[in-house]
Structure 1
């Protein structure tokens, strides 16, 4: 499984992160798509997950994140990978 952040920011007063997840079987894709509470869609064999955050919980909001943005993006990708892996264990 590979998790990549494709987009993030603020739109219409809401902070969001869009993740693209590749390397999943069709069963895993369907399971995640049907069971995650986040906004999801399957696009060209990948799962697109869009998560919304309260401003104070948005991971890219801090001054440190603005200086070390690549580090924060990598950490978010790792955290999502761990979350999805544990979620798939219930499959």
Structure 2
């Protein structure tokens, strides 16, 4: 499984879009049926949109503005770990 941040925005609604690739059909179906976030399928790729309050938005800090690539990489790793744990229930 590979997780990449596809898009993000901070404004009226703070969100991060994650593009997830490398999942089996069973894993895709399990995530679609059990994850409560916004999910969109594009072939074998899965796009997950998560919304955040201002205080929880991962790219909100001053430090994130200077080390954005580090914060993006950390967020991708955290989502990968979350999905891996989530899929253990499969």
Which contiguous aligned blocks of 4+ residues in structure 1 show a shift greater than 4 angstroms?
A: none
Give the 3-state SS of the residue equivalent to 2:10 in structure 1.
Answer: strand
| Matched length | 90
The aligned residue for residue 62 of structure 2 is 63
Structure 2 residue runs without a partner (length 5+): none
Cα separation, 2, equivalents of 1:43 and 1:8? 18
Structure 1 residue runs without a partner (length 5+): none
TM-score (norm 1): 0.96
Cα separation, 2, equivalents of 1:34 and 1:48? 14
Q: In the alignment, does 2:4 pair up with 1:4?
A: yes
TM-score (norm 2): 0.97
